[in-house]
Structure 1
Amino acid sequence: MHDTALAKKVAYQILSQFDKSYRWFTRITRGAQERFEQGKWKETQVASKQRITIYETSLSDTVAEIYHLIAVHRKDETFWQQVKRIFAQQLEGHPQFELAETFYNSVIGRLFKHRKIDNSFMFVLPSRCYLPGPDRPKVVNSFDTTTTVAQMYHSIFKCYRYNIPFENYDRDIANLETALRKRLTTTQLASVHTVEILKPTFFRGKAAYLIGRICMPEETLPFVISLQRSDNSELFVDALLTERKDLSVTFGFARSYFMADTQNPAEVSAFLQELLPNKKHFELYMSLGHYKHGKTVFYRNFLQHMENTDDRFEAAPGIRGLVMMVFHLPSYGVVFKIIKDEFAESKKITREHVKDCYRLVKMSDRVGRMADTHEYMNFRFPLNRMHPALIEELKATCASSLTFTDNELIISHLYIERKMTPLNVYLQQETDKDNVYNALNELGLCIKQIAMANIFPGDMLHKNFGITRHGRVIFYDYDEICLMHERHFRELPKSDDPYAIDTLSVGPNDVFPEQFEHFIVGKRPLKTILKQLHGDLMTAEYWRTVQTKCARGDIQHFTPYSADIRFPR
């Protein structure tokens, strides 16, 4: 077979494997509604994990097929450039062309071990610029606003139907109407010309969301109806979200990916971007479960940011970690984390263990309390943008992960994570007593909610938590996490001898919660507040109770918005 025919065959195989994987992705996503209606919460968690693994499975199958077809490394650069050109032609009119380009990049990356990050071989830049609008009618429903508010809500629920009865339909309509009238003045209500809602329902955990906007001549507001299923297998409206900050937290980087069934992800993410202009485009793709494409969009955003700035990478602020070396670009909203070559004596773990911990978090329900991390291979940094002190520190701590060329530093394996203010730094600097109180309350809630999601955080020093601009505390240091059943929570012995614990038989998995107060936060006033708010965290009984719930398979639900906007039932 001559090279052009082979190039066509390779391009066709990559695209057909992508299409197959997207059908698989869609099938799992589409099942979310039935799982929600029937309250199949364990199946919901299994489906979430399955959907994350689809990509790697499809990628491995595709690479194996290509190796079976051709001698990959005997083909010259011209051949692979031809494959890319043919693939781009095949994508004409494809409804998921941008995701297919990312899949193509992953295949080439796997074939050449990420050594050919070059736009002539891969779609480092997109093949075309997507202009939102033409596919809008395919992803959005518009509702008549010339009727009464109640009639508009009736028409919404005629359109969005679920195979589950309402707990109290009239009450829910009244709650929704009251909430909207409270949010908008009479003049604003009269000026509303359109209400638009995305066609797919957004399912996550034990909740479902109708996501849209209210359009007025002078402004546009989010319009999000939050639905839940009662223990009696009935549907109820939990809240109406009309504030951008509430929607922003709902789409937060510490939450699991939504299941929202669409064949037009570019148009859906463009609509969401209009609703949430402060969210980066890559974050929105990730929130829809397209985390690999989110990584592609992130890399393009990163390259663009580098072109438009001149600051230098430096070590991240805060106390140095014992396992990870962390650095950042001051003008950019992420941190870069590299596993160190050697760990401190106190860390009895391996490099592979650390990777397993990060994988566990990826697969778990992050309940709004654990930052999503994104793994990259052979990530390239311009040497002239690296601070000399940072280069020296990287050489001293992570030498095995570094390769230097004349003008680049290539890091073989790293994680990228959203930048937050480390909680210890925040508490040192914050002078407002209410903010300190809120941060410590959030810290306790964060630890509790992670535990109820069946994860024991392990190292709970406050330096391992960050605080967001919305005041939420998020955990981000995963090297000592484990499942709840893997720890044995014990009381300290009652003795006058301060060294009595040394005489105990202490197993490697034993944990003494009474000691937590000595190291979660350092200063006595902060300890006192944390104990007042969350003193139960310092008791073995509390942790054993959570263990029992996790062992029973209880699945918790934590709403991403505050309790005071939930409707009365």
Structure 2
Amino acid sequence: MPIVQEKVAYQILFGFEKNYRWFCRITSGAKQRFEQAQWQATHSAVKERISIYEQSLADTVSELYALINPRQQDSEFWHAVKVHFAQQLNQHPQYELAETFYNSVIGRLFKHSKIDENIMFVLPSRCYISGQDKQKIVNSFDTSGTVGSMMQAILSMYRFNIDFKDKATDLSNLDQALRERLNKAQLASVHTVEILKPVFYRGKAAYLIGRICMPNETLPFVIALLVNEQKQLQVDALLTSNKDLSAIFGFARSYFMAETLYPAEIVAFLQELMPNKKNFELYMSIGHYKHGKTVFYRNFLQHLEHSDDQFTVAPGVKGLVMAVFHLPSYGVVFKIIKDEFPESKRVTREQVKECYRLVKMSDRVGRMADTHEYVNFRLPRNRIEPALLQELQDVASLNIQVNDHEVIIKHLYIERKMTPLNIFLQTETDESKIHNAIADLGLCIKQISAANIFPGDMLHKNFGVTRHGRVIFYDYDEICLMHQRTFRELPKSDDPFAIDTMSVSPEDVFPEQFEHFIVGKRHLKDLLKQLHPELMTAEYWIEAQKRAATGEVQHFTPYSEAQRFRHQP
């Protein structure tokens, strides 16, 4: 008769495997949704896949309570459970995800009050050796013939239950594009082309992702596919630069649907192509955001051990809702909801949390930073600047607990660090970069609204600039769906106070006023009006609202328009 600890370990693994089957079932449906152009169903599947983890976790915890009273068991009991669980993971193809699920169960049982390697996998149980399952995730293609024959073999290997609009033109475009990217010597030296077996689906696109291997260099090899309005398949682009691949896997984009039983091997392959991407970012990009959080935490602990700088207030204008700080040597910012908000902020703490959940579930279209939520996040007190600790105690005392050695943050958001747009515009001296930032700011606002999100507070301090110069929105406390606002024209009157005398509800928005607060300096206001004049008109926003109401899913390519192949209408 198995001992109780074995039963508990088995029940947790059963819960994980049930969750993973559910995850894979949703993911495997991406191919059919893509073929049938079921874009609303695609969006619903994204939301469902994010939400199932919490449901599986709740089910598993409930089943454990049917076996034992978890909180009455001592540390030795849970250590034994961990040992049995680890033994069950020998040869398990998703052992790293299973360990994260186990940690989540322990966290739920003890309300995240125990971060203890003795009973949790704070560190992984083993070091994954990449390449051991490579043959299970990669297709290799013959490069001894012509470029055209190789492209034909690739499109024949990855089959879709949908006709190509013009396969011959697609093959010609691919052939020509590769010959333009590589010179004759490079083409002659190509010894291998490898493409991941899973197709990567997101939004209205599908991507074949691989690499071109030469003796002295390796280049990304990405074929982007779209379904046109006539429900025909066409190749949209061939991408061969690291910058393009990094943009496709950007932190402001929704998670991919990529069906695989070997996520660690997929991530290892991708990291070879994108060494600047962190391991946790790549897990998140393929939908394993919970495990991504675990890997982030491990990475963070390791960084703390090998650094000595202190946490300090993040640069930029202080927010009215969030207290934001950072570790200068690390690439994220930490955000805590303040205890109280000024009267100008008509939101509650729960509403702020709901806004962040809305973004998590939405298509972020490459314009809204992904955020990761933590509870009882621990920081070493001696690494926190006294001024920062005092500020946190002043504005967020309900959310922190301080002892002699640690500062425990009860609820925390973590985001990728960017240069706040207001600081970028103050410090940048290159006029062309300033022009591009203002142009991209307008596009950012338009694309967010096309994704059925009204950004709300559009002050330029709430936008960031990435290292590639892309403008990203990151302040979500006033966002809402487009239908939740009424866009109105300002009254036509000689009375400058007329707006104060008319009936105005909290949901009313006057776009003509945007020019006064999105950016500060006059020449920047004028540039924004010149590049995006429609943003300052109620008519534009009303039309955007109508389009959002139809439920039509928009598509924005993560690469430039110039990189797209031209197709005859």
Please name the residue that 1:319 is paired with.
Answer: 317
Please name the residue that 1:555 is paired with.
Answer: 553
**Aligned pair partner of 2:232 in 231, 234, 248:** 234
Partner amino acid for 2:85?
F
Please name the residue that 2:399 is paired with.
Answer: 401
3-state SS, counterpart of residue 472 of structure 2: strand
- CA displacement at 1:157 relative to structure 2: 1.1
- Per-residue CA deviation, residues 483-513 of structure 1 (Å, 9 max, x unaligned), is 0000000000001110011110011111000
- CA displacement at 1:140 relative to structure 2: 0.4
Distance in 2 of aligned mates of 1:348 and 1:555:
30
- CA displacement at 1:161 relative to structure 2: 0.3
Distance in 1 of aligned mates of 2:557 and 2:504:
38
- CA displacement at 1:134 relative to structure 2: 1.1
Distance in 1 of aligned mates of 2:155 and 2:561:
24
TM-score by length of 2: 0.99
Please name the residue that 2:117 is paired with.
Answer: 119
Distance in 1 of aligned mates of 2:57 and 2:100:
11
Please name the residue that 2:523 is paired with.
Answer: 525
Partner amino acid for 1:394?
L
Please name the residue that 1:289 is paired with.
Answer: 287
Please name the residue that 2:53 is paired with.
Answer: 55
3-state SS, counterpart of residue 396 of structure 2: helix
Distance in 2 of aligned mates of 1:514 and 1:553:
26
3-state SS, counterpart of residue 376 of structure 2: strand
Please name the residue that 2:534 is paired with.
Answer: 536
**Aligned pair partner of 2:511 in 495, 513, 524:** 513
Please name the residue that 2:103 is paired with.
Answer: 105
- CA displacement at 1:73 relative to structure 2: 1.7
- CA displacement at 1:239 relative to structure 2: 0.4
3-state SS, counterpart of residue 558 of structure 2: coil
- CA displacement at 1:339 relative to structure 2: 0.1
Confirm whether residue 64 of structure 1 aligns to residue 80 of structure 2.
no
3-state SS, counterpart of residue 158 of structure 1: helix
Distance in 1 of aligned mates of 2:342 and 2:170:
56
Distance in 2 of aligned mates of 1:471 and 1:74:
54
Q: Residues 442-521 of structure 1 correspond to what in structure 2 (within 5 A)? A: 442-521=440-519
- Per-residue CA deviation, residues 198-232 of structure 1 (Å, 9 max, x unaligned), is 00000000000000000000000000000000101
- CA displacement at 1:405 relative to structure 2: 2.0
Partner amino acid for 1:28?
I
- CA displacement at 1:344 relative to structure 2: 1.3
- Per-residue CA deviation, residues 401-458 of structure 1 (Å, 9 max, x unaligned), is 1111221110000000000000000000011111001000100000000000000000
Partner amino acid for 1:30?
S
Structure 1 residues without counterparts, runs of 5 or longer: none
Distance in 1 of aligned mates of 2:524 and 2:71:
60
3-state SS, counterpart of residue 413 of structure 1: strand
- Per-residue CA deviation, residues 65-115 of structure 1 (Å, 9 max, x unaligned), is 111210112211100000000000000001100000000000000001111
- CA displacement at 1:345 relative to structure 2: 1.6
Please name the residue that 2:36 is paired with.
Answer: 38
3-state SS, counterpart of residue 29 of structure 1: helix
**Aligned pair partner of 1:203 in 201, 204, 225:** 201
Partner amino acid for 2:373?
E
Moved over 4 A (4+): none
Partner amino acid for 1:472?
R
Distance in 2 of aligned mates of 1:17 and 1:106:
11
Q: Residues 301-316 of structure 1 correspond to what in structure 2 (within 5 A)? A: 301-316=299-314
Distance in 1 of aligned mates of 2:156 and 2:225:
15
- CA displacement at 1:322 relative to structure 2: 0.2
Confirm whether residue 300 of structure 1 aligns to residue 298 of structure 2.
yes
Please name the residue that 1:225 is paired with.
Answer: 223
Distance in 2 of aligned mates of 1:127 and 1:378:
23
**Aligned pair partner of 1:12 in 6, 10, 16:** 10
Distance in 2 of aligned mates of 1:383 and 1:551:
49
**Aligned pair partner of 1:161 in 142, 159, 173:** 159
Please name the residue that 1:357 is paired with.
Answer: 355
Please name the residue that 1:145 is paired with.
Answer: 143
Distance in 2 of aligned mates of 1:68 and 1:411:
32
3-state SS, counterpart of residue 345 of structure 1: coil
Partner amino acid for 2:337?
I
- CA displacement at 1:544 relative to structure 2: 0.4
**Aligned pair partner of 2:370 in 366, 372, 376:** 372
Partner amino acid for 1:423?
L
Please name the residue that 2:187 is paired with.
Answer: 189
- CA displacement at 1:568 relative to structure 2: 1.0
Please name the residue that 1:384 is paired with.
Answer: 382
**Aligned pair partner of 2:82 in 80, 84, 107:** 84
Partner amino acid for 1:439?
A
3-state SS, counterpart of residue 251 of structure 2: coil
Distance in 1 of aligned mates of 2:362 and 2:29:
19
3-state SS, counterpart of residue 208 of structure 1: strand
Distance in 2 of aligned mates of 1:223 and 1:448:
30
Distance in 2 of aligned mates of 1:75 and 1:420:
45
3-state SS, counterpart of residue 532 of structure 2: helix
3-state SS, counterpart of residue 384 of structure 1: helix
Indicate the RMSD between aligned Cα atoms, in angstroms.
0.7
**Aligned pair partner of 1:252 in 250, 253, 266:** 250
Structure 2 residues without counterparts, runs of 5 or longer: none
Aligned length in residues: 567
- Per-residue CA deviation, residues 375-415 of structure 1 (Å, 9 max, x unaligned), is 00000000110001100111111001111122111000000
Please name the residue that 1:413 is paired with.
Answer: 411
Please name the residue that 1:439 is paired with.
Answer: 437
